[in-house]
Chains A and B, each alone.
Chain A
Amino acid sequence: MLMDTPDEMLATAAAQGDRAAFATLVGRHYDRIHGLAWRLTGVKAEAEDLAQDICAALPSKLQNWRGEARFTTWLYRVVVNAAHDLRRRQQTRARASQGWGDWELARQDEIAVQAEAQDWLAQAMTELSPELRDTVALVLGEEMTQAEAGLVLGLSEGTIAWRMSDVKKRLRAKAREDAK
């Protein structure tokens, strides 16, 4: 019967210590977390790690759950923030050890060995700025409306709309490049 309970109720119950509710909630949303994590990072291993980190932090994160937004919106926000942290950490680490350029090369290599079908995507995504990547992951990947994506990213709908049009513009430019 927990299976039919809405997310928001489960989250409230879990926040108050209901173990079964929490288990149901995590089970229900793991795939979603993982999916968005993958769309944000583009690397399967990283997506797994990130999803695990998020699951691990979820109990304490839930203490901040106020039921003010839809649970999925709230969860997306958690995932996006965690991905940002990961990005920051990677940058710090890369700068401290071998510098940005090497890190970027290593990352490109990693991307290159991924399945061929993902090649084009990886390329397209790495050419976008992190902000645009987040937006694309939410709007295209998660099929959110621009308003929802705005809620998750803490931006106005107009900004999301603008970012999406910027993505289109960049894709056009890329298509022109590729055609050459």
Chain B
Amino acid sequence: MTDDFDDLKAALKAAPAPDADAKARAMALAMKNFDALQGSPQGFGDPARSSEDRPIEAAPLNGVRRMLKFLTSRPALAATTSVAALVIGVAVILPIADLRIGQPVVTTTEKPKPEAPAETANEDQDLRTEVPADPSNVVEKKVEEVASTDDQPLVAPEPVTDAEAAEVTDALEAAPPAVAGGEAVIADLEIDGTFVGGLDEGAVVRERAAVESEAPGLMLALPAPASAPLVELAQPQLPENTEEYANEPVNPVKVTAEEPVSTFSIDVDTASWAVVRSTLNMAMLPSPDQIRIEEMINYFPYAYKTPTEEEAFSSSISVMQTPWNPGTRLVTIGIQGALPDIADRPALNLVFLIDTSGSMEDANKLGLLKQSLTLMLAELRPEDEISVVTYAGSAGLVLPATRAADRTTILQALDNLAAGGSTAGAEGLELAYRVAEGMKSEGEVTRILLATDGDFNVGVSDPDGLESYVAKKRETGTYLSVLGFGRGNLDDAVMQSLAQNGNGTAAYIDTLSEARKVLVDQLTGALFPIADDVKIQVEWNPATVAEYRLIGYETRALKREDFNNDEVDAGEIGAGTQVTAIYEVTAPGSDALLNDPLRYGTATTETTNGELGFLRLRWKAPGADTSTLIETPITGTEEATTETRFAAAIAGFGQLLQGSVYTGDWGWDQAIELALANRGDDPFGYRIETVNLMRLAQSLSAN
């Protein structure tokens, strides 16, 4: 097998010798551009060397002197600054230029084309081979014109340059009639409009306009399509951000008469909240696709009604006026999982599946992970068992099943974890499931905790296969939870789908206190499921609710018929955890209605007694195949509590971050006020932390 590897190497080494002519051409071009850049008029000949030009051996000192001279020369400084500005400008407009290459966009010409000497040649030939270096040429020359006080003769503009200019002029002329002959910058802007669609357009145009205002006269030389990619070379290389997020478009307002039933799966993930927090703490506003409002709401513990002895969980409903819209009401559905007596909890088998690929080498990743697991270890009971599987070059079982009582062995194994090497990812997961299988015994809970920075590598060749593998393994009763660490290439999308398919939660851990929350304070909830496949279905009463909107849960939507289908997977509730879902509903005849009533609408039935809707909940006991149904009417008289008002504040916060259209004039101040007023007990300080984050987001969004 390594034969192939060697073959590939040998074949690659056998690069064809470069063509001598091609080499000569390329070198000539390089020298020409070099001369152009230096503003040297000598052309191809050996330049006359000035007396202060010492041979190259003295380069370091020489360089310093030159640099000093260069720095003190004001025009030169001005020139370099403009070059920098130009490079930025050109880089920004690239997408436009690229599009133009393949697609002659302008087809209808209203005015006769301006005469340009090289125009036809330019059209007929492959642009790339003709003018590879032009932009730098043109740009540099123009800069010289603008900024140089040197009285050196400038290199005369070449025909190609004219052609470029002519082509742009051409495009300007051919732009929509409204702008033909208009002011240059505006015309240019319109041209952009014909090439690009989308949100970035404005920004692109602004950037460009700024460059143009700094360096008038340069505009014509800029959009040279063929040469644009070369200029892009000069673009600073930003560190690659390869994060991927899972999200769906925001739930729209639904008309009850058309779609009275809303169905979704509960979601106990909290990853989105932690990502939002860490993004804000980096002084950046999170992007809309990082925000899943239900995960933000469900991050917080709420004091809902505790379930009775025989219930696995209780549901409570509250109705209140919407903070951001006086014309609508919020219906909050809170579910509280039962907290079985901690002393009675079944023994726990934990398999830590730890990503030790090179990218995990970071105090925020592997370091934090080790600390987190150490914290958690203290909460385990002696009879619980732990094993550690790593996936990386050193893939394999690092720690065979060990009782939690044997702390030293476990701590040592954790300590010895080191990042580095290549990854044999899929095998790691398979091994983890095998190990978990071996640890299992009657009445125990078995869970794999996958810790990764998202450089997932597990089954990277076939992500779908991985999901179905996890889904299949779910049947064996082993749960899979995903802990995300670090930022930069967090693959939120894969984390989400793995946790959802593997009957687990996805949490993102950015600080030790977050690790504490996820692994210690909520140890029981995160690790012991009390209800599987919990689905919520609400049927709204068209007589009392004309429109409704589910806030969040976009990635958790279920089909109406899936509610009764026990084969369809849904979210789990852990011991003692809470899940909250919020609907915004609008009464018929309200000013806040977004849709007009139908003239020939269906006749409303008057059978209900003013109920807003009907809540149905389905859940399975862990490991059970058939579901249980719980039904509760929503009367509209249920009172709001501190808890549901705080949840509403978080929902508002999420929508503000998303730039939602539904919040109207309601802004940061109101969100902060609402959250602050409903802090409640807040024993862990999560809620006050939120208020501070809201203030941070407020200042960030003011910029």
CB<8 Å pairs between A and B, sample of 15: A23-B31, A27-B27, A48-B26, A52-B25, A52-B26, A53-B128, A55-B29, A57-B33, A59-B136, A61-B234, A117-B14, A137-B12, A141-B9, A162-B357, A170-B461
Verify B102–A48 contact, CB threshold 8 A: no
Verify A93–B63 contact, CB threshold 8 A: no
Verify B5–A171 contact, CB threshold 8 A: yes
Taking the closest CB of chain B, its distance from the CB of A36, in whole angstroms, is: 8
Closest to A140 in B: B9
A contact residues around B140 at 8 Å (CB): 60
Verify A34–B23 contact, CB threshold 8 A: yes
Task: Say yes or no: is A136 at the interface (Cβ < 8 Å to chain B).
Answer: yes
Task: Say yes or no: is B598 at the interface (Cβ < 8 Å to chain A).
Answer: no
A26 to B8, CA, bound (A): 28
Interface of B is mostly: helix
Verify B27–A30 contact, CB threshold 8 A: yes
A21 to B300, CA, bound (A): 64
Taking the closest CB of chain B, its distance from the CB of A71, in whole angstroms, is: 14
B contact residues around A16 at 8 Å (CB): 62-63, 66-67, 70
B contact residues around A44 at 8 Å (CB): 16
Verify B47–A52 contact, CB threshold 8 A: no
Taking the closest CB of chain B, its distance from the CB of A157, in whole angstroms, is: 6
- CB contact between B132 and one of A56, A78, A141 (< 8 Å): that residue: A56
B contact residues around A27 at 8 Å (CB): 27
A1 to B59, CA, bound (A): 13
B contact residues around A107 at 8 Å (CB): none
A contact residues around B358 at 8 Å (CB): 156-159, 161-162
A contact residues around B56 at 8 Å (CB): 1-2, 5, 9-10, 13, 18, 20-21
- CB contact between B4 and one of A5, A48, A54, A174 (< 8 Å): that residue: A174
Task: Say yes or no: is A144 at the interface (Cβ < 8 Å to chain B).
Answer: no
Task: Say yes or no: is B18 at the interface (Cβ < 8 Å to chain A).
Answer: yes
Kindly list 4 other residue pairs between chains A and B, CB separation below 8 angstroms, not including A34-B18, A55-B29.
A23-B27, A30-B18, A92-B102, A141-B9
Task: Say yes or no: is B193 at the interface (Cβ < 8 Å to chain A).
Answer: no
With contacts A1-B56, A9-B56 taken as known, whether A171 is within 8 angstroms of B12 at the C-beta atoms is no
With contacts A82-B233, A162-B423 taken as known, whether A59 is within 8 angstroms of B457 at the C-beta atoms is no
Taking the closest CB of chain B, its distance from the CB of A31, in whole angstroms, is: 6
Verify B19–A48 contact, CB threshold 8 A: yes
- CB contact between A168 and one of B5, B18, B66, B80 (< 8 Å): that residue: B5
Taking the closest CB of chain A, its distance from the CB of B54, in whole angstroms, is: 10
With contacts A85-B229, A154-B239, A169-B461 taken as known, whether A56 is within 8 angstroms of B8 at the C-beta atoms is no
Taking the closest CB of chain A, its distance from the CB of B72, in whole angstroms, is: 15
Chain A: number of interface residues, binned into ranges:
35 or more
Task: Say yes or no: is B393 at the interface (Cβ < 8 Å to chain A).
Answer: yes
With contacts A59-B136, A141-B13 taken as known, whether A89 is within 8 angstroms of B98 at the C-beta atoms is yes
Closest to A64 in B: B234
A contact residues around B25 at 8 Å (CB): 52
Verify A165–B423 contact, CB threshold 8 A: yes
Chain B: number of interface residues, binned into ranges:
35 or more
Verify B8–A140 contact, CB threshold 8 A: yes
With contacts A22-B34, A157-B358 taken as known, whether A162 is within 8 angstroms of B457 at the C-beta atoms is yes
Task: Say yes or no: is B178 at the interface (Cβ < 8 Å to chain A).
Answer: no
Closest to A85 in B: B229
A116 to B17, CA, bound (A): 17
Q: How does the 8 Å CB contact mask read for A146-179 relative to B, with 1 for contact and 0 for none?
A: 0000000011111101111111111110110000
Task: Say yes or no: is A111 at the interface (Cβ < 8 Å to chain B).
Answer: no
Taking the closest CB of chain B, its distance from the CB of A57, in whole angstroms, is: 4
B contact residues around A167 at 8 Å (CB): 5, 8
Task: Say yes or no: is B431 at the interface (Cβ < 8 Å to chain A).
Answer: no
Task: Say yes or no: is B133 at the interface (Cβ < 8 Å to chain A).
Answer: yes
A86 to B35, CA, bound (A): 26
Verify B424–A165 contact, CB threshold 8 A: yes
Verify A52–B132 contact, CB threshold 8 A: yes
A89 to B360, CA, bound (A): 34
A143 to B59, CA, bound (A): 31
Verify B132–A53 contact, CB threshold 8 A: yes
Q: Mark the stretch among B414-422, B580-588, B672-680 that contacts chain A.
A: B414-422
With contacts A26-B30, A168-B5 taken as known, whether A63 is within 8 angstroms of B237 at the C-beta atoms is no
Verify A58–B30 contact, CB threshold 8 A: yes
Verify A96–B30 contact, CB threshold 8 A: no
A120 to B25, CA, bound (A): 31
Task: Say yes or no: is A112 at the interface (Cβ < 8 Å to chain B).
Answer: no
Closest to B30 in A: A55
Verify B8–A136 contact, CB threshold 8 A: yes
Taking the closest CB of chain B, its distance from the CB of A63, in whole angstroms, is: 7
B contact residues around A31 at 8 Å (CB): 17-18, 23
Verify A95–B29 contact, CB threshold 8 A: no
Taking the closest CB of chain A, its distance from the CB of B430, in whole angstroms, is: 15
